[in-house]
Protein backbone atom coordinates (compact mmCIF):
# COMPACT_ATOMS: atom_id res chain seq x y z
CA UNK A 1 0.00 0.00 0.00
CA UNK A 2 2.74 2.44 0.87
CA UNK A 3 4.70 1.50 -2.27
CA UNK A 4 1.73 2.37 -4.54
CA UNK A 5 1.22 5.72 -2.82
CA UNK A 6 4.88 6.60 -3.13
CA UNK A 7 4.92 5.70 -6.82
CA UNK A 8 1.83 7.82 -7.45
CA UNK A 9 3.37 10.78 -5.62
CA UNK A 10 6.58 10.45 -7.62
CA UNK A 11 4.65 10.43 -10.89
CA UNK A 12 2.74 13.57 -9.84
CA UNK A 13 5.96 15.37 -8.87
CA UNK A 14 7.57 14.51 -12.17
CA UNK A 15 4.52 15.74 -14.11
CA UNK A 16 4.50 19.02 -12.19
CA UNK A 17 8.21 19.50 -12.82
CA UNK A 18 7.69 18.84 -16.52
CA UNK A 19 4.91 21.43 -16.65
CA UNK A 20 7.11 23.98 -14.88
CA UNK A 21 9.93 23.35 -17.31
CA UNK A 22 7.57 23.71 -20.27
CA UNK A 23 6.13 26.96 -18.84
CA UNK A 24 9.62 28.29 -18.25
CA UNK A 25 10.62 27.53 -21.84
CA UNK A 26 7.45 29.28 -23.08
CA UNK A 27 8.22 32.35 -20.98
CA UNK A 28 11.80 32.41 -22.26
CA UNK A 29 10.57 32.12 -25.83
CA UNK A 30 8.01 34.88 -25.31
CA UNK A 31 10.61 37.10 -23.67
CA UNK A 32 13.07 36.46 -26.45
CA UNK A 33 10.41 37.21 -29.06
CA UNK A 34 9.45 40.42 -27.25
CA UNK A 35 13.10 41.47 -27.04
CA UNK A 36 13.57 40.63 -30.69
CA UNK A 37 10.50 42.63 -31.67
CA UNK A 38 11.64 45.54 -29.48
CA UNK A 39 15.12 45.39 -30.98
CA UNK A 40 13.70 45.30 -34.50
CA UNK A 41 11.33 48.16 -33.68
CA UNK A 42 14.10 50.18 -32.12
CA UNK A 43 16.35 49.46 -35.09
CA UNK A 44 13.66 50.56 -37.55
CA UNK A 45 13.00 53.69 -35.46
CA UNK A 46 16.72 54.43 -35.26
CA UNK A 47 17.26 53.97 -38.98
CA UNK A 48 14.23 56.03 -40.01
CA UNK A 49 13.95 58.64 -37.27
CA UNK A 50 16.29 58.35 -34.30
CA UNK A 51 19.56 58.88 -36.07
CA UNK A 52 18.26 62.13 -37.55
CA UNK A 53 17.28 63.69 -34.22
CA UNK A 54 19.83 66.10 -32.74
CA UNK A 55 19.15 67.00 -29.12
CA UNK A 56 20.75 69.31 -26.58
CA UNK A 57 19.88 70.58 -23.14
CA UNK A 58 22.22 73.58 -23.51
CA UNK A 59 19.35 75.76 -24.68
CA UNK A 60 17.60 78.79 -23.22
CA UNK A 61 14.70 81.09 -23.97
CA UNK A 62 15.67 84.54 -25.22
CA UNK A 63 13.78 87.73 -26.13
CA UNK A 64 14.93 90.96 -27.76
CA UNK A 65 13.92 93.18 -24.86
CA UNK A 66 14.22 96.93 -25.23
CA UNK A 67 15.76 99.21 -22.60
CA UNK A 68 13.72 102.40 -22.23
CA UNK A 69 15.67 105.64 -21.87
CA UNK A 70 14.53 109.29 -22.04
CA UNK A 71 15.41 111.61 -24.92
CA UNK A 72 15.21 114.73 -22.77
CA UNK A 73 16.36 115.56 -19.28
CA UNK A 74 14.22 116.65 -16.36
CA UNK A 75 12.50 115.55 -13.19
CA UNK A 76 10.10 112.61 -13.32
CA UNK A 77 6.58 113.84 -12.68
CA UNK A 78 4.82 110.48 -12.75
CA UNK A 79 5.59 106.78 -13.23
CA UNK A 80 2.53 105.19 -14.82
CA UNK A 81 3.52 101.50 -14.74
CA UNK A 82 4.40 98.94 -12.12
CA UNK A 83 6.83 96.04 -12.13
CA UNK A 84 5.80 93.11 -14.37
CA UNK A 85 2.88 95.08 -15.83
CA UNK A 86 1.79 94.22 -19.40
CA UNK A 87 1.81 97.23 -21.74
CA UNK A 88 0.81 97.93 -25.31
CA UNK A 89 2.77 99.81 -27.95
CA UNK A 90 2.17 103.53 -27.44
CA UNK A 91 1.24 103.33 -23.76
CA UNK A 92 2.75 106.10 -21.63
CA UNK A 93 5.27 104.65 -19.19
CA UNK A 94 6.86 107.71 -17.59
CA UNK A 95 5.97 111.43 -17.66
CA UNK A 96 8.65 114.10 -17.25
CA UNK A 97 7.81 117.62 -16.07
CA UNK A 98 7.23 119.68 -19.22
CA UNK A 99 6.92 123.29 -17.97
CA UNK A 100 10.27 124.37 -19.41
CA UNK A 101 9.65 122.50 -22.65
CA UNK A 102 6.19 124.08 -22.97
CA UNK A 103 7.74 127.56 -22.55
CA UNK A 104 10.36 126.79 -25.20
CA UNK A 105 7.59 125.61 -27.49
CA UNK A 106 5.71 128.91 -27.08
CA UNK A 107 8.94 130.84 -27.69
CA UNK A 108 9.56 128.87 -30.89
CA UNK A 109 6.00 129.59 -32.04
CA UNK A 110 6.50 133.31 -31.44
CA UNK A 111 9.75 133.30 -33.41
CA UNK A 112 8.03 131.51 -36.26
CA UNK A 113 5.21 134.07 -36.29
CA UNK A 114 7.77 136.90 -36.36
CA UNK A 115 9.64 135.40 -39.30
CA UNK A 116 6.38 134.74 -41.14
CA UNK A 117 5.50 138.45 -40.74
CA UNK A 118 8.95 139.41 -42.06
CA UNK A 119 8.46 137.16 -45.06
CA UNK A 120 5.07 138.74 -45.77
CA UNK A 121 6.62 142.24 -45.55
CA UNK A 122 9.41 141.31 -47.93
CA UNK A 123 6.94 139.76 -50.35
CA UNK A 124 4.95 143.02 -50.31
CA UNK A 125 8.17 144.98 -50.90
CA UNK A 126 8.98 142.70 -53.79
CA UNK A 127 5.57 143.34 -55.32
CA UNK A 128 6.16 147.11 -54.98
CA UNK A 129 9.51 146.84 -56.77
CA UNK A 130 7.86 144.76 -59.48
CA UNK A 131 5.34 147.58 -59.96
CA UNK A 132 8.16 150.15 -60.14
CA UNK A 133 9.96 148.04 -62.72
CA UNK A 134 6.79 147.80 -64.80
CA UNK A 135 6.35 151.58 -64.53
CA UNK A 136 9.94 152.24 -65.53
CA UNK A 137 9.69 149.82 -68.43
CA UNK A 138 6.69 151.80 -69.66
CA UNK A 139 8.70 155.02 -69.25
CA UNK A 140 11.59 153.53 -71.21
CA UNK A 141 9.22 152.48 -73.97
CA UNK A 142 7.71 155.98 -74.03
CA UNK A 143 11.17 157.58 -74.17
CA UNK A 144 12.17 155.26 -76.99
CA UNK A 145 9.04 156.17 -78.94
CA UNK A 146 9.67 159.88 -78.36
CA UNK A 147 13.27 159.42 -79.50
CA UNK A 148 12.10 157.77 -82.69
CA UNK A 149 9.61 160.59 -83.23
CA UNK A 150 12.19 163.37 -82.89
CA UNK A 151 14.65 161.36 -84.99
CA UNK A 152 12.06 161.29 -87.76
CA UNK A 153 11.52 165.05 -87.34
CA UNK A 154 15.29 165.59 -87.54
CA UNK A 155 15.44 163.58 -90.75
CA UNK A 156 12.61 165.68 -92.24
CA UNK A 157 14.29 168.94 -91.16
CA UNK A 158 17.59 167.78 -92.72
CA UNK A 159 15.87 167.07 -96.03
CA UNK A 160 14.07 170.45 -95.95
CA UNK A 161 17.34 172.24 -95.29
CA UNK A 162 19.08 170.48 -98.20
CA UNK A 163 16.10 171.19 -100.51
CA UNK A 164 16.04 174.92 -99.69
CA UNK A 165 19.81 175.16 -100.07
CA UNK A 166 19.42 173.95 -103.68
CA UNK A 167 16.48 176.27 -104.31
CA UNK A 168 18.41 179.26 -102.94
CA UNK A 169 21.36 178.50 -105.21
CA UNK A 170 18.95 178.45 -108.15
CA UNK A 171 17.23 181.63 -106.86
CA UNK A 172 13.94 179.72 -106.64
CA UNK A 173 13.49 180.42 -102.91
CA UNK A 174 14.36 183.21 -100.59
CA UNK A 175 17.19 183.11 -98.06
CA UNK A 176 14.61 183.61 -95.32
CA UNK A 177 13.04 180.26 -96.11
CA UNK A 178 16.49 178.63 -95.92
CA UNK A 179 17.12 180.22 -92.52
CA UNK A 180 13.77 178.91 -91.29
CA UNK A 181 14.61 175.38 -92.50
CA UNK A 182 18.04 175.60 -90.85
CA UNK A 183 16.47 176.68 -87.57
CA UNK A 184 14.00 173.79 -87.74
CA UNK A 185 16.89 171.39 -88.32
CA UNK A 186 18.76 172.78 -85.32
CA UNK A 187 15.65 172.50 -83.13
CA UNK A 188 15.07 168.91 -84.27
CA UNK A 189 18.70 168.02 -83.56
CA UNK A 190 18.39 169.47 -80.04
CA UNK A 191 15.14 167.58 -79.55
CA UNK A 192 16.90 164.35 -80.48
CA UNK A 193 19.61 165.00 -77.88
CA UNK A 194 16.96 165.75 -75.26
CA UNK A 195 15.07 162.55 -76.16
CA UNK A 196 18.25 160.49 -75.88
CA UNK A 197 18.99 162.01 -72.48
CA UNK A 198 15.44 161.27 -71.31
CA UNK A 199 15.76 157.69 -72.61
CA UNK A 200 19.05 157.19 -70.74
CA UNK A 201 17.42 158.61 -67.61
CA UNK A 202 14.51 156.20 -67.86
CA UNK A 203 16.85 153.28 -68.52
CA UNK A 204 18.94 154.24 -65.48
CA UNK A 205 15.82 154.36 -63.32
CA UNK A 206 14.86 150.93 -64.67
CA UNK A 207 18.30 149.57 -63.75
CA UNK A 208 17.92 151.00 -60.24
CA UNK A 209 14.48 149.42 -59.92
CA UNK A 210 15.84 146.05 -61.08
CA UNK A 211 18.71 146.31 -58.57
CA UNK A 212 16.19 147.21 -55.88
CA UNK A 213 14.17 144.14 -56.82
CA UNK A 214 17.26 141.94 -56.59
CA UNK A 215 17.93 143.38 -53.14
CA UNK A 216 14.31 142.72 -52.16
CA UNK A 217 14.54 139.19 -53.55
CA UNK A 218 17.71 138.56 -51.52
CA UNK A 219 16.06 139.92 -48.39
CA UNK A 220 13.04 137.71 -49.06
CA UNK A 221 15.27 134.64 -49.40
CA UNK A 222 16.98 135.60 -46.15
CA UNK A 223 13.65 135.90 -44.36
CA UNK A 224 12.48 132.59 -45.85
CA UNK A 225 15.65 130.96 -44.52
CA UNK A 226 14.97 132.48 -41.11
CA UNK A 227 11.42 131.18 -41.30
CA UNK A 228 12.69 127.69 -42.13
CA UNK A 229 15.08 127.90 -39.21
CA UNK A 230 12.26 129.02 -36.93
CA UNK A 231 10.09 126.18 -38.23
CA UNK A 232 12.89 123.71 -37.47
CA UNK A 233 13.25 125.17 -33.98
CA UNK A 234 9.50 124.80 -33.51
CA UNK A 235 9.68 121.17 -34.64
CA UNK A 236 12.52 120.50 -32.21
CA UNK A 237 10.62 122.17 -29.39
CA UNK A 238 7.49 120.19 -30.29
CA UNK A 239 9.42 116.93 -30.33
CA UNK A 240 11.10 117.76 -27.03
CA UNK A 241 7.73 118.52 -25.46
CA UNK A 242 6.30 115.27 -26.83
CA UNK A 243 9.34 113.34 -25.59
CA UNK A 244 8.46 114.25 -22.03
CA UNK A 245 5.93 111.41 -22.40
CA UNK A 246 7.99 108.22 -22.60
CA UNK A 247 5.96 105.59 -24.44
CA UNK A 248 6.36 101.88 -24.96
CA UNK A 249 7.68 101.09 -28.45
CA UNK A 250 6.27 97.54 -28.49
CA UNK A 251 3.84 95.22 -26.74
CA UNK A 252 5.44 93.51 -23.78
CA UNK A 253 5.90 93.32 -20.03
CA UNK A 254 7.68 95.87 -17.86
CA UNK A 255 10.86 94.73 -16.15
CA UNK A 256 13.90 96.24 -14.42
CA UNK A 257 11.92 99.29 -13.34
CA UNK A 258 14.45 101.62 -11.75
CA UNK A 259 12.77 104.99 -12.27
CA UNK A 260 11.01 106.73 -9.39
CA UNK A 261 8.95 109.91 -9.06
CA UNK A 262 10.98 113.15 -8.59
CA UNK A 263 14.08 111.43 -9.91
CA UNK A 264 16.22 113.54 -12.25
CA UNK A 265 16.81 111.70 -15.51
CA UNK A 266 19.07 112.46 -18.47
CA UNK A 267 19.14 111.17 -22.07
CA UNK A 268 20.50 107.63 -22.26
CA UNK A 269 19.81 106.77 -18.61
CA UNK A 270 18.07 103.34 -18.46
CA UNK A 271 14.75 103.64 -16.67
CA UNK A 272 13.09 100.28 -17.29
CA UNK A 273 12.83 97.52 -19.88
CA UNK A 274 9.99 96.20 -22.02
CA UNK A 275 10.21 92.47 -22.72
CA UNK A 276 8.18 91.15 -25.70
CA UNK A 277 7.20 87.75 -24.31
CA UNK A 278 5.16 86.85 -27.40
CA UNK A 279 8.31 87.24 -29.49
CA UNK A 280 10.43 84.92 -27.34
CA UNK A 281 12.69 82.48 -29.15
CA UNK A 282 15.18 79.79 -28.21
CA UNK A 283 18.96 79.79 -28.55
CA UNK A 284 20.31 76.23 -28.48
CA UNK A 285 24.07 75.65 -28.31
CA UNK A 286 24.72 72.56 -30.41
CA UNK A 287 28.03 70.79 -30.75
CA UNK A 288 29.81 71.28 -34.04
CA UNK A 289 29.44 67.56 -34.73
CA UNK A 290 25.65 67.93 -34.62
CA UNK A 291 25.44 70.63 -37.30
CA UNK A 292 26.31 68.45 -40.30
CA UNK A 293 22.73 67.85 -41.44
CA UNK A 294 21.08 70.77 -39.69
CA UNK A 295 19.41 73.29 -42.00
CA UNK A 296 17.21 76.36 -41.60
CA UNK A 297 13.51 75.53 -41.64
CA UNK A 298 13.79 72.09 -39.99
CA UNK A 299 11.15 71.36 -37.29
CA UNK A 300 12.13 71.38 -33.63
CA UNK A 301 10.49 69.85 -30.55
CA UNK A 302 10.92 72.10 -27.51
CA UNK A 303 10.58 70.84 -23.93
CA UNK A 304 10.58 73.49 -21.19
CA UNK A 305 12.14 72.47 -17.87
CA UNK A 306 9.79 74.75 -15.91
CA UNK A 307 6.72 72.92 -17.20
CA UNK A 308 7.26 69.18 -17.04
CA UNK A 309 5.67 67.43 -19.99
CA UNK A 310 4.89 70.66 -21.86
CA UNK A 311 5.93 70.43 -25.51
CA UNK A 312 6.18 73.23 -28.06
CA UNK A 313 6.86 73.24 -31.76
CA UNK A 314 9.39 75.44 -33.50
CA UNK A 315 11.74 75.59 -36.45
CA UNK A 316 15.38 76.43 -37.04
CA UNK A 317 15.94 79.96 -38.34
CA UNK A 318 19.70 80.37 -38.48
CA UNK A 319 22.98 79.59 -36.77
CA UNK A 320 25.69 81.85 -35.50
CA UNK A 321 28.51 82.77 -37.91
CA UNK A 322 31.00 81.67 -35.24
CA UNK A 323 31.24 79.55 -32.15
CA UNK A 324 30.79 80.97 -28.69
CA UNK A 325 34.55 80.95 -28.17
CA UNK A 326 35.03 83.29 -31.15
CA UNK A 327 32.82 86.00 -29.64
CA UNK A 328 34.04 85.53 -26.06
CA UNK A 329 35.51 88.52 -24.25
CA UNK A 330 38.82 86.66 -24.00
CA UNK A 331 38.91 84.22 -26.93
CA UNK A 332 41.27 81.29 -26.58
CA UNK A 333 44.51 81.24 -28.54
CA UNK A 334 45.32 77.65 -29.46
CA UNK A 335 48.60 78.70 -31.05
CA UNK A 336 50.20 79.09 -27.61
CA UNK A 337 51.10 76.37 -25.11
CA UNK A 338 49.86 72.82 -25.24
CA UNK A 339 46.83 72.14 -27.42
CA UNK A 340 43.77 70.25 -26.18
CA UNK A 341 41.03 69.75 -28.71
CA UNK A 342 37.62 70.75 -27.36
CA UNK A 343 34.38 70.29 -29.25
CA UNK A 344 32.98 73.75 -29.94
CA UNK A 345 29.33 74.77 -29.64
CA UNK A 346 27.45 77.01 -32.07
CA UNK A 347 24.32 78.98 -31.08
CA UNK A 348 21.30 77.99 -33.19
CA UNK A 349 18.30 80.32 -33.24
CA UNK A 350 14.93 78.54 -33.01
CA UNK A 351 11.63 80.35 -33.38
CA UNK A 352 8.60 79.09 -31.47
CA UNK A 353 5.83 78.53 -34.02
CA UNK A 354 2.89 79.03 -31.68
CA UNK A 355 2.58 79.83 -27.99
CA UNK A 356 0.02 77.66 -26.24
CA UNK A 357 -2.21 78.72 -23.38
CA UNK A 358 0.02 77.29 -20.65
CA UNK A 359 2.26 79.23 -18.33
CA UNK A 360 4.31 82.14 -19.69
CA UNK A 361 7.53 81.42 -21.56
CA UNK A 362 10.04 83.75 -19.94
CA UNK A 363 13.51 84.66 -21.18
CA UNK A 364 16.16 82.71 -19.35
CA UNK A 365 14.17 79.49 -18.97
CA UNK A 366 16.08 76.28 -19.68
CA UNK A 367 14.73 74.05 -22.43
CA UNK A 368 15.63 70.86 -24.26
CA UNK A 369 15.48 71.08 -28.04
CA UNK A 370 15.35 68.24 -30.55
CA UNK A 371 15.90 69.06 -34.21
CA UNK A 372 14.56 66.67 -36.85
CA UNK A 373 17.26 66.70 -39.54
CA UNK A 374 15.60 64.23 -41.89
CA UNK A 375 16.05 65.37 -45.52
CA UNK A 376 12.29 65.47 -46.07
CA UNK A 377 12.06 68.17 -43.38
CA UNK A 378 14.64 70.50 -44.85
CA UNK A 379 12.99 73.82 -45.65
CA UNK A 380 13.76 77.29 -46.77
CA UNK A 381 15.46 79.65 -44.31
CA UNK A 382 13.18 82.04 -42.50
CA UNK A 383 14.59 85.53 -42.19
In the chain, what are the domain boundaries?
66-98+244-274, 99-241
Q: Which of 35-39, 108-112, 311-315 has the lowest mean pLDDT?
A: 35-39
Mean residue pLDDT of the chain comes to 83
177-184 long-range Cβ contacts below 8 angstroms, 24+ apart:
181/157, 184/157, 184/160
The predicted model gives 271-279 an average pLDDT of: 92
Distance set, CA 32 to CA 19, 20, 22, 28, 47 (Å):
20, 18, 15, 6, 22
The fourth-level CATH superfamily of domain 99-241 is Methyl-accepting chemotaxis protein (1.10.287.950)
Q: Record the pTM.
A: 0.67
Which of 174, 156, 155, 154 lies closest to 164, judged by CA? 174
The predicted model gives 27-33 an average pLDDT of: 81
Tell me the pLDDT band of 39, cut-offs 50, 70 and 90: confident
The predicted model gives 143-166 an average pLDDT of: 71
Residue 5 has pLDDT above 70, yes or no: no
Residues 6+ apart with CB under 8 A from 112: 227, 230, 231, 233, 234
- pLDDT, position 7: 60
Residue 1 has pLDDT above 60, yes or no: no
- pLDDT, position 101: 94
- pLDDT, position 360: 84
Q: What is the CATH number of domain 66-98+244-274?
A: 2.40.50.100
The predicted model gives 140-167 an average pLDDT of: 71
Amino acid sequence: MNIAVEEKTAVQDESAHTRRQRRKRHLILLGGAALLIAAVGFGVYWMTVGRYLEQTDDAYVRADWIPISPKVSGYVAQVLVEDDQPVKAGDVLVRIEDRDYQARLEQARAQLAETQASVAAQEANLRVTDSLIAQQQAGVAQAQAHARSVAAELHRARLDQRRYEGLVREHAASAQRLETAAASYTQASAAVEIAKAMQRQQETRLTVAISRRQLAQASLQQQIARRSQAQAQLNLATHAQEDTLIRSPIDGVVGQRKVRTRQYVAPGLPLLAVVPLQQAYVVANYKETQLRDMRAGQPVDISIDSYSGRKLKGHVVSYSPGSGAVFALLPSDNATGNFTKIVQRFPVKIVIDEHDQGGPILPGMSVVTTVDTRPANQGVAHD
